[in-house]
Amino acid sequence: MIPLDMFGSESLAADLLQQVRWRDGVECPRCRSDRTVKNGSYGHFQRYLCKDCDCTFNDKTGTIFAHSKIALRKWLFSIYAFLRFNTSIRQLQTEIDVTYETIHRHVECFVTALDAPHLDLVGPVEIDEVYVTAGKKARDRERESRSRGLSTRGRGSYQSDKPPVFILVERGTGDRYVVPAKSADESTVRLLLADREEESLTVYTDGFRAYDPLDEDDEITREYVVHSDGEYADDEVHVNTCESQGRRSDPWLSPHRGVSKDKLTPYVPAFQLRRELFRKPGKEALKHAIRATL
Ligand SMILES: [Zn+2]
């Protein structure tokens, strides 16, 4: 259900922000004191006075929504449509009658505010990478098939406008992490896997050579499939969960033509957020999205 009322009324949008922002009580953004009192209003937004440091602030102060020229309800609509329906910025421009540049700046501000995923891996873990074509219009996209195994075919690099995006899946919990990287090399792989709960970790990979050094690591048990040898998933040894996740992330980026590789990093956590929102009712999804930026 789309929370239409929030997008039609600035005061309802303001109420929603207030609810999400102060869910643990009002706190002064300057000195973190909770000794605050209501102090008039700032447009549709509640204003407060801090009794410890004497500063005034409102519901938007210190958030990405502060000092915005567009109404909060339009911004929330953009975020909602962007996450929920994968609406392009070009399309949003016609929906809410705000210039392309303005919406672009606001959506970018939103995705930049999202936290990078925090990994605390619990094994066994599947790890795999996909290469997202960045900075190209959709029709120019290469449609090459993903070659696997030890060859370099189909593997991209940050320099060649196909930055790698690592996908990690915990087999036990089903938790997935989507992490963009500058290169798909040994040190990146080690860095990703180092963020784990216990010392030893079982890892399923394919035959890509960046994973080979894991064989020498005493704390890591690596099992792998070599796709180019026509090997099929061998019981537990596969990266199929990663692959189905990877197939979903590339089409998702395609409406957002011309996202340059430098801007890609923040867009990928947005993809992960979209997945978290998938089954939430409209208003809950919107609250979750706001909370993710605070
Ligand atoms: Zn204060």
Taking alpha carbons only, the member of 105, 163, 156 closest to residue 134 is: 163
For 266, phi and psi rounded to 5 degrees? -70, -25
Mean per-residue pLDDT, 251-271: 68
Give distance in angstroms: CA of 5 to centre of ligand 1. 33
Measured distance CA(137)–CA(257) in Å, rounded: 5
pTM: 0.66
| Average pLDDT across the chain, whole number | 81
Count CB-CB contacts under 10 A for residue 222.
19
Task: Give the Å distance between the CA of 48 and the centre of ligand 1.
Answer: 10
Q: What is the pLDDT confidence band of residue 126, given thresholds at 50, 70 and 90? A: very high
Sign of CA dihedral 88, 91, 97, 102: positive
Is residue 146 over pLDDT 60? no
Residue 152 has pLDDT above 70, yes or no: no
Contact 204, 236 (CB under 8 A): yes
Measured in angstroms, how far is the CA atom of residue 70 from the centroid of ligand 1?
28
| Strands 56-58 vs 201-206: parallel, antiparallel or unpaired | unpaired
Tell how far the Cα of 26 is from the centroid of ligand 1, in angstroms: 11
Distance 54 CA to ligand 1 centre (A): 6
Gap from CA of 32 to ligand 1 centroid (Å): 6
Q: Which residue is listed with tokens 């792989």?
A: 189
Span from the CA of 240 to the centroid of ligand 1 (angstroms): 51
CA of 61 to the centre of ligand 1 (A): 12
Distance 53 CA to ligand 1 centre (A): 4
Cα 55 to ligand 1 centroid, rounded to whole Å: 6
Give the Å distance between the CA of 50 and the centre of ligand 1.
Answer: 5
CA of 58 relative to ligand 1 center, distance in Å: 12
Greater confidence (126 vs 100) lies with 126
Distance 30 CA to ligand 1 centre (A): 5
Q: Which residues contact 272 (CB under 8 A, 6 or more apart)?
A: 117, 176, 177, 178
Q: Where in the chain are the domains?
A: 4-115+282-292, 125-137+152-260
Distance 51 CA to ligand 1 centre (A): 7
Q: With bands split at pLDDT 50, 70 and 90, how would you rate the model's confidence at 262?
A: low
pLDDT tens digits, 168-207: 899 888 888 877 777 788 888 888 888 888 889 999 998 8
**DSSP calls for the chain:** ---HHHHH-HHHHHHHHHHHHTTT----TTT----EEEEEEETTEEEEEETTT--EEETTTTSTTTT-SS-HHHHHHHHHHHHHS---HHHHHHHHT--HHHHHHHHHHHHHHSPPPPP-B-SSEEEEEEE---SS-GGG--------TTS-TT---TTTT--EEEEEEETTT--EEEEE-S--SHHHHHHHHHSBSSS-EEEEEES-GGGGGGGG-TTEEEEEE-GGGTPPPBTTB--HHHHHHHHHHHHHHTTSTT--HHHHHHHHHHHHHHHHHTTS-HHHHHHHHHHHH-
Comparing CA positions, the residue from 114, 72, 64, 68 lying closest to residue 96 is 72
What distance in angstroms lies between residue 147's CA and the mean position of ligand 1's atoms?
A: 57
Given a contact cutoff of 8 angstroms between Cβ atoms, the answer to whether 125 and 205 are in contact is: no
CA of 224 to the centre of ligand 1 (A): 55
Split at pLDDT 50, 70, 90, the class of 39 is very high
Q: Supply the CATH classification number for the domain 125-137+152-260.
A: 3.30.420.10
pLDDT for residue 292 is more than 90: no
User: How many Å lie between the centroid of ligand 1 and the Cα of residue 62?
Assistant: 13
C-beta atoms surrounding 93 within 10 Å: 17
**Who contacts 200 (Cβ-Cβ below 8 Å, separation ≥6)?**
123, 219, 220, 221
How many Å lie between the centroid of ligand 1 and the Cα of residue 223? 54
CA of 293 to the centre of ligand 1 (A): 22
CA 195 to chain centroid, in Å, comes to 18
Q: What is the pLDDT of residue 257?
A: 59
Ligand 1 centroid, distance to 231 Cα (angstroms)? 63
Q: What is the pLDDT of residue 28?
A: 92
Q: What is the pLDDT of residues 203-239, one digit of tens each?
A: 999 888 889 999 998 899 998 877 656 555 667 788 8
Radius of gyration of the chain (CA): 22
Report the percentage of the chain scoring pLDDT > 70.
80
Q: Please give the distance, rounded to the nearest whole angstrom, from the Cα atom of residue 27 to the centre of ligand 1.
A: 8
User: What share of the chain in percent tops pLDDT 90?
Assistant: 29
